[in-house]
Amino acid sequence: MITIDDISQARSRLHGKQVVTPLLEYDHVNDRIGGRVLFKAENLQRTGSFKFRGAFNKIASLGDGQRKKGVVAFSSGNHAQGVAAAARAFGTAATVVMPEDAPALKRENTRRLGADVVLYDRHSGDRAAIAKEIATRTGAILIPPYDDEMIISGQGTIGMEIADQLESMSARADLLLCPVGGGGLVAGISTALKALRPEIEVYCVEPEGFDDTRVSLERGERTGNRVGANSICDAIVTQIPGEITFPINRRNLAGGFAVSDDDVAESVRLLFKTAKLVVEPGGAVGLAALLAGRIDLRGRTAVVVLSGGNVDLEFFKERIA
């Protein structure tokens, strides 16, 4: 289990490297929701998502000899870009396994950041197995997307920033809503907040059909999703909670919510039109839970993590505009 000390060390490694993303508030959103909403805008982070934090902390923790061997990762896009950017910062070679149907923007940005991209068919291929084979063959260090204590600790720096920002605003928050795929982001944030702002209840939010963490929390054990579901939230589509992340989240989280693609699209639209923020579908599920009435915010304050902003222009035009 990671601790606040692990997250504090990650924050020291990241100092001056990451963007301390703002905590933003919009009157129109508050009026519509009926409570106070503070957005932690990780869509404004380097590479357009929170993933840079964990990737940088992981690579920073490696020895020089390990970094010289290069790193390899598997990702639908945001972790790919985070690893590519972090590896570039250390002059380390990176290879990333990505699905052929990953958003073009994410594939192009990963290559632009200097990583070699290996594409696979997500319906017939096993991205983890492909990455592990590359690591075994080349000696490269595998950088997991979420099931790693250094990755989780890096993401936990968001929780430390939120605690600092609430204090500087003299603000009190009742709950936090966080997008969840494999669970590393919410595991890190919830660990930090349990230590620094234990009064804040932390909830995970997932797309319908991919709400494995919500179901697992209710059942008390890791439970996978049923095969055949689809979602526009490509960044947080996973099959089952992580082996390392789930015990943390089972201990820390107050519960979870599932939201529809229509709810998510409306959230992305509202953020763009009201706040002028470009947020990808998977990054907007927290607001979607509020818009769909999953939780009553009257007289309360919620921190909503906007986890990323890497969305294809064509998708945005077709589904959002």
Q: Both tokens of residue 81?
A: 């870009």
How high is the pLDDT of residue 209? 95
Cβ atoms of residues 78 and 310 within 8 Å: yes
Please state at what angle helix 4-14 crosses helix 149-168, rounded to 10 degrees.
Answer: 80
Query: Once rounded to an integer, what is the mean pLDDT over residues 111-117?
Result: 95
Residue 321, pLDDT > 70, answer no
Q: What does the pLDDT look like over 232-288, one tens digit per residue?
A: 998 999 999 999 999 999 999 999 999 999 999 999 999 999 999 999 999 999 999
- The percentage of residues in the chain with a pLDDT greater than 90, rounded to a whole number, is 87
Q: Which residue ranges form the domains of the chain, and what is each CATH number?
A: 4-49+149-320 (3.40.50.1100), 52-142 (3.40.50.1100)
Cα–Cα distance, 278 to 261 (Å, whole number): 17
pTM: 0.96
DSSP result, 217-278: HHHTS--PPPTT---S-GGG--SS--TTHHHHHHHH--EEEEE-HHHHHHHHHHHHHHH---
Of 182, 189, 205, 179, nearest in space to 154 by CA: 189
Query: What tokens does 302 get?
Result: 């919620």
